[in-house]
Amino acid sequence: MCKWSQQPESVEFTLKVLEKLSQRYGKRKGLWGIEIVNEPITEAAWDIFNIQERYKPVDAEMAKDSAPNSFEFLRKFYTEAYYRMRKYLPEEKAVVFHDGFDIYYWKDFMQEEKFINVVLDTHQYLMMAEANGCSQTKEAYVKYIEEHYEKAVEEMSRYFPVICGEWCLFNSQACGCDTKGGQSVLNGVEGSCGEVWSKEEKMDIYQAVSRAQLKAWKKGSGYFYWNYKLLLDTVSEAGWIGWDAWDFGKCVSEGWFTEEKYEGEN
């Protein structure tokens, strides 16, 4: 069900929660910042992922009239959230907002001096690149990262500190089949992926996309890998091959995650 922004009482509840979080934790030494809301889906992503088919509702009647969030709504909501949070958050604590899956949209947003320490969060996954037409090969992934992620982060860093708040090494090529943009048995898709790569071949794929993505995120202010650790008891089963790439600890221990420099990079 995607009707939150259509329900004023739900929006107000969210704003009050943000106020309470800011008041309760705002002066804690270990707090870096608070993100307003996670991944508010907008029209472009709604269409790319075919949301209503990808996530079929349990209750069709309740899900009726579900729709993406508009950018007009998000601008107003983010602005109101900023003012309410800043009442309690010291200026050294960041107010973070998600790009709604359109990083370039926000160039004219919160550029006035009254908005202090605002950080733009973008979430970039190779499964999203695939859903957007990227071919499922190592070379295509690297090219897509360089032409889209790296350029976007670099350009938008002129307006905000930019973080990639979610990313990972997961991709269909390493899985050994087309995952349809990262779908699994959880989406009702019976798994067909099997182990088709040798250990060395899989490492080559992962290291290439790791290097390319880290190079892109370095154009901004930082990144957060999703996730640090997962339960991995299913990763050898058909349909789950490759899903361990969401686990940062596994990626490091296997040598897939690497910060090796590109040729010619300083």
Q: What is the DSSP letter of 55?
A: S
Q: What is the mean pLDDT of the chain?
A: 93
Burial grade of 28 (CB within 10 A; 0-12, 13-18, 19 or more)? exposed
- Which amino acid does the sequence have at 228? Y
H/E run at residue 121: strand 118-123
| DSSP line for 235-252 | TTSTT-TTGGGG-HHHHH
Q: Is the pLDDT of residue 244 over 50?
A: yes
Q: Is the pLDDT of residue 221 over 90?
A: yes
- Ramachandran bin of 112, using left for φ above 0, alpha for ψ from -120 to 50, beta for the remaining angles: beta
Percent of the chain residues topping a pLDDT of 70: 95
Residue 231: its pLDDT value, please?
79
- Cα(232)–Cα(57) distance, integer angstroms: 27
- Cα(66)–Cα(3) distance, integer angstroms: 5
Q: Is the pLDDT of residue 237 over 50?
A: yes
CA 113 to chain centre: 28
Q: Is the pLDDT of residue 43 over 80?
A: yes
- Cα(17)–Cα(21) distance, integer angstroms: 6
Q: Is the pLDDT of residue 183 over 90?
A: no
- Cα(104)–Cα(76) distance, integer angstroms: 18
SS3 category, 5: helix
H/E run at residue 260: none
Which residues neighbour 75 within 8 Å (Cβ) at sequence distance 6 or greater?
109
**Mean pLDDT to the nearest integer, 37-61:** 90
- Cα(117)–Cα(37) distance, integer angstroms: 17
Q: Tens digits of per-residue pLDDT, 65-93? A: 999 999 999 999 999 999 999 999 999 99
Q: Are strands 94-98 and 118-123 parallel, antiparallel or unpaired?
A: parallel
Q: Tens digits of per-residue pLDDT, 188-208? A: 676 668 789 999 999 999 999
For the ranges 81-95, 202-216, 246-260, the lowest mean pLDDT is seen at: 246-260
Q: What is the DSSP letter of 102?
A: -
User: What are the structure tokens assigned to 127, written together?
Assistant: 């499964």
For residues 5 and 66, the answer to whether their CB atoms sit within 8 Å is no
**Mean pLDDT to the nearest integer, 126-130:** 96
Q: Is the pLDDT of residue 220 over 90?
A: yes
